[in-house]
Structure 1
Amino acid sequence: MDKKNFLNNFTLDDTGALASLYEDIELCKKIQYPIHTKIFFPPEVWSTLENMKNSLGIEVESKGVKQESEKRVILIKPLAYGEYFEDYPFAYFEIRGGSKFKELEHRHFLAAIMGLGIKREMLGDLIVKEGVCYGVIFRDLFNFLENNLKVIGKIKVEVSETEEKNIPEMEFEEITYLVSSLRLDSIVAAITEKSRSQATELIREGTVSLNYSVRREKDASIKDGDIITVRRKGKFIFEKVTGVSKKGKQRVVLKKYK
């Protein structure tokens, strides 16, 4: 596959990042050795690449701060390479504030890190729990972060490296809906609190993604573990069907990303 056809498969505007990804793929196939990408990619890239791996003749893995992470480093492997045991090139960290009176939020941590000149694509998702920020950053940038992030607003903070096992789980809101079927239009109608025809229009407009790929087929089937994203409404994981109502509707549970 040439570069032009490769780029046409993606919706990301950053063609420079995609061109670099293509070069990493070509280098991997040339040297027959795994390569990590040099930035964290959003889901519309790593999920699309996973769907393209057979036509590209490669194996694809990706990893972020947690299994459910959106921003991930991609590992490109030659076909039939087998197990790859080297660590991903990033460091897990935590940022703790010293104030007992004000609890820092996600936006405060992200703004402070980027205020140091660290680009967003050099950083994975951030998880904030009880005022502590957990995240992942490329290892060659960790010391810079540790040595330079000392204050957020007027609150003194301390950055330290931690282990993957210490990163808390991402938090979700569990919501139960009644739906007439497990089709995409029915689920979107429930999430958006709109009619089935209005949900169909949202799908046709391209505002709905299924497993990070835009889907325009209203009758797409939904199964356990599928990730549904509706623009301006959020991202949901289809958890399970729990039963049927007296009127014959299916009772389903979705987890909404907080």
Structure 2
Amino acid sequence: MAATSLASQTVLRRAVQAFVVPRFISNNNLSHCSTLQSFPLPKLLSSSGLGMCHLAQAVKGEVDVSLKGVGDKSITEAVKQIVEKANRASFRREVIHTDFITPPVLKESMLILAKLVDVKAIAQGGYPQAERHRLSVGHSEVLTDALDIVAAMSITGNFGFQPCSHGDFLGSILGTGIAREKLGDIVVLGEKGAQVLIVPELVDFLTTSLDKVGNVPVSCKKIPLLALEYEPPRTKSFKTVESSLRVDAIASAGFKISRTKLADLISNGDVRVNWTTVTKNNTTVKAGDIISVSSKGRLQIGEINSTRRGKFAIELIRYL
């Protein structure tokens, strides 16, 4: 009986260590391993779970400290969810994939994941210059190679007389009901149409659902990633003079829409600055910022100079 009890405790202890070590301990806190092993087993497995709870809180605190400099709450929350997925995947010895994430979320996530023991992360965007990526996270012994989690599709049609922009393609794809986070980059190819990166499980759906972009009938098909024809994005630069650097003023000039219409877009959550949703019309922008408007596309703020009359001469770079 005693031998059976001892064996059971040994099995339980190993199970607990397997759970805690890869899931919670970071490179900076390896001393927690010896502390954990010195805990009496009944205390560690008590119904209160204090040892486990305190350790989890310590790691949560570390993540919070790492994200202290991130001002946007949506980015912070997205990164926390990715870290939680990585911990869960490591514990279960499995691999979990995220949807497509924006550059700020990718950057902050990779910084934190690099500190976690036994956790590996691989980012894939479909091609080297990709902006949006998916992350594969899991235990380092399981996630050994990059998996096929990004698919490429071509969208072709007679765009010679009716060219469509990045915003046109994006708006039409979203119009089928596909969520934005299921889409990666869209590579616009002028008369040849566009190529889009997407989660593999939606390839068939997009093939049958997307039949028009703007007024142009289109057809879609899956293509190899190596067939992507990436080129530097086509842009158009122009200047505007504004009395302020408010996002509603700049975006209104950049996308050639009224400030009233832009105010409605902001209210609907359709305007983003550096991939972060804008909630106030008077949010200020600066040189280098990227403004995105759903179904309209993107523009980047170039050089800003003050005029003699106290206004701002602003260079705007519109992505076509």
SS of residue in 1 equivalent to 2:74? coil
Distance 1:4 1:160, change over 3 A: farther
Specify the alignment match of 2:170 in structure 1.
110
8 Å contact from structure 2 (residues 182, 198) kept in 1: yes
**Offset of residue 35 of structure 1:** 2.3
Q: Alignment partner for residue 219 of structure 2, among 151, 155, 158?
A: 158
Instruction: List per-residue Cα deviations over 1:229-249 (Å, max 9, x = no partner).
Output: 92258499xxxxxxxxxxxxx
Q: Alignment partner for residue 87 of structure 1, among 148, 151, 154?
A: 148
8 Å contact from structure 2 (residues 187, 194) kept in 1: yes
8 Å contact from structure 2 (residues 79, 109) kept in 1: no
**Whole-Å Cα distance in 2 between the matches of residues 163 and 73 of structure 1?**
17
Superposed, which structure 2 residues align to 1:1-258 within 5 Å? 2-3=59-60, 5-6=62-63, 9=67, 10=70, 11=72, 13=74, 17-37=78-98, 39-57=99-117, 58-79=119-140, 83-84=144-145, 86-88=147-149, 90-131=150-191, 132-171=193-232, 230-232=288-290, 234=300
**Offset of residue 42 of structure 1:** 0.7
**Whole-Å Cα distance in 2 between the matches of residues 235 and 139 of structure 1?**
34
Q: Which has the higher strand share?
A: 1
**Offset of residue 4 of structure 1:** 6.2
Q: From the CA coordinates, give the structure whose radius of gyration is larger.
A: 2
**Which letter maps to 2:124?**
K
Q: Which has the higher helix share?
A: 2
> What is the aligned-residue identity percentage?
21
8 Å contact from structure 1 (residues 68, 170) kept in 2: no
SS of residue in 1 equivalent to 2:220? strand
SS of residue in 1 equivalent to 2:188? strand
Segment drifting more, 78-87 vs 97-106: 78-87
8 Å contact from structure 1 (residues 65, 135) kept in 2: no
Instruction: List per-residue Cα deviations over 1:42-85 (Å, max 9, x = no partner).
Output: 11111222222332222222011321111100111323557325
TM-score (norm 1): 0.61
TM-score (norm 2): 0.50
**Whole-Å Cα distance in 2 between the matches of residues 141 and 17 of structure 1?**
22
Q: Structure 2, unaligned stretches of length 5 or more? A: 1-57, 235-273, 276-286, 291-298, 303-316
Distance 1:128 1:77, change over 3 A: same
8 Å contact from structure 1 (residues 12, 45) kept in 2: no
Q: How many pairs does the alignment contain?
A: 184
Distance 1:47 1:99, change over 3 A: closer
**Offset of residue 257 of structure 1:** 11
Distance 1:47 1:102, change over 3 A: same
